[in-house]
C-alpha cells in the first residue's frame, strides 16, 4: 500500500522567535514564543516537547483556539523574579550586624560576671591571683562528695532474628525506547537522541554505518545535527537501500494508545508502522514510548 504524500508539519507553524515568527529553535527553549496568542509568550518545556516541536501540535489546545486569545496559565513557563534574589550587599550588611550583635552580647556578659565577682577583667593577671586563691581556700568552694550507688546490669544474650530475603519486583522492560534496537528482517533500527557536538559522520563511525546512509533513511534531511535531535540509525548498514523508506522518530503523548490507533491518528500506513516497530501482531503504546514512522520516498 502506497503512503500518502502529505504529512502534518513537523512543528507548530505558530511557534517562532519573539521578533521572527517564522523561525523557531528545534529544541525546548525560552526563545520559542507562541504567536497564536496575545501577548506572545513561551510555553513550558514539557509542552514544547510534547506538542510544539512535534507533529502532535495539531492536538494542542492553543493551536485549536481562536487567534489572539490569552495563553493558558498552566502551560506557561515559570519565570524567576529579580526581586526575589538576595543582593550580596544586603547580605554583607546582615552578616556585619550579626557579628556586631554577638560582640555586644559578649561585652554585656563579661561586664555582668565582673560585677558579680567584684573584680576587673581588664586587670593584670597577677592582680587576680590573690582573689582566686582566697576563693579556692574557702569552705564554700570545697567539692561536695555524694555517694554513687553501683548498678549492675545483667548480661542479656542477643537472640538472632531471621531476615527474610526481599521479594523481587518484576519491572517490565520498555520495548519502545531510545537506543533499543528493533529487528526488521535482517536489519536493525534504533532511535538515537543526538548529543552536543555529534555529527552525521561521527554517528556513522560510532554505529558502523555512514553519514550518507543516516541522511538517506531520515525523513528530515537536516544539513546538520543539533543536540536532542532524534535520529533513526541502522547499525551495520553501509550502502543506501533504495527499497527502504525514510523514517521519522515520534514520541507518544497519549496515556495509552494502540499501534493501529496511532497509525490512524497520524495518517500512516498501519501495516508498515507495525512492521518497522516489531508489532506484527499489534501492540499497545504508552506515554513516553518512541516509535519509528515510515514515510514514502
Which pLDDT does position 237 carry in this prediction? Answer: 94
256 falls within a domain: yes
Q: With H, G, I as helix, E, B as strand and everything else as coil, classify residue 94.
A: helix
Q: How far is CA 153 from the centre of its chain?
A: 55
Range of the structural domain that residue 29 is part of: 7-103
Number of neighbours of residue 61 by Cβ within 10 angstroms: 10
Span 149-154, average pLDDT? 61
Residue 242 or residue 159, greater confidence: 242
Domain edge (last residue) among 75, 103, 131: 103
Domain edge (last residue) among 74, 103, 132: 103
Q: What is the pLDDT of residues 95-127, one digit of tens each?
A: 888 888 898 888 888 777 766 544 454 445 444
Quote the cell numbers at residue 102.
Answer: 554577638
Number of neighbours of residue 189 by Cβ within 10 angstroms: 21
Domain check: are 197 and 96 in the same one?
Answer: no
Domain edge (last residue) among 103, 121, 154: 103
Distance CA 79, CA 102 (A): 38
Which pLDDT does position 97 carry in this prediction? Answer: 83
Q: Residue 292: pLDDT above 60? A: yes
Q: What is the pLDDT of residues 75-90, one digit of tens each?
A: 887 654 433 434 445 5
Span 189-211, average pLDDT? 93
What's the domain count of the chain? 2
Q: Residue 262: pLDDT above 70? A: yes
176 falls within a domain: no
Phi, psi of 33 (to 5 degrees): -110, 145
Amino acid at each position: 500500500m502506497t503512503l500518502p504524500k502529505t504529512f502534518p508539519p513537523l512543528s507548530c507553524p505558530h511557534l517562532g522567535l519573539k521578533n521572527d515568527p517564522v523561525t523557531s529553535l528545534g529544541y525546548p527553549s525560552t526563545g520559542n514564543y507562541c504567536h497564536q496568542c496575545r501577548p506572545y509568550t513561551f510555553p513550558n518545556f514539557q509542552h514544547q516537547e510534547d506538542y510544539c516541536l512535534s507533529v502532535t501540535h495539531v492536538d494542542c489546545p492553543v493551536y485549536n483556539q481562536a487567534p489572539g486569545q490569552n495563553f493558558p496559565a498552566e502551560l506557561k513557563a515559570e519565570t524567576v523574579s529579580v526581586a526575589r534574589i538576595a543582593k550580596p550587599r544586603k547580605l554583607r550588611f546582615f552578616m556585619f550586624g550579626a557579628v556586631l550583635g554577638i560582640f555586644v552580647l559578649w561585652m554585656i556578659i563579661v561586664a555582668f560576671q565582673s560585677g558579680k565577682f567584684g573584680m576587673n577583667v581588664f586587670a593584670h593577671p597577677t592582680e587576680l591571683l590573690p582573689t582566686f586563691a582566697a576563693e579556692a581556700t574557702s569552705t564554700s568552694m570545697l567539692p561536695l562528695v555524694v555517694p554513687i550507688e553501683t548498678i549492675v546490669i545483667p548480661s542479656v544474650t542477643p537472640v538472632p532474628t531471621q531476615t527474610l530475603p526481599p521479594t523481587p519486583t518484576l519491572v517490565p522492560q520498555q520495548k519502545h525506547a531510545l537506543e533499543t534496537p528493533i529487528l526488521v528482517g535482517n536489519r536493525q533500527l534504533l532511535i538515537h537522541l543526538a548529543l552536543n557536538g555529534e555529527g552525521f559522520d561521527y554517528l556513522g563511525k560510532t554505529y558502523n554505518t555512514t553519514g550518507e546512509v543516516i541522511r538517506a533513511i531520515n525523513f528530515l534531511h537536516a544539513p546538520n545535527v543539533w543536540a536532542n535531535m532524534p535520529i533513526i540509525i541502522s547499525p551495520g548498514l553501509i550502502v543506501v537501500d533504495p527499497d527502504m523508506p525514510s523514517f521519522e522518530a515520534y514520541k507518544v503523548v497519549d496515556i495509552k494508545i494502540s499501534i493501529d490507533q496511532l497509525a490512524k491518528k497520524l495518517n500512516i500506513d498501519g501495516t508498515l508502522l507495525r512492521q518497522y516497530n516489531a508489532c506484527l501482531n499489534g501492540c499497545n503504546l504508552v506515554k513516553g514510548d518512541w516509535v519509528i514512522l515510515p514515510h514514502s520516498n
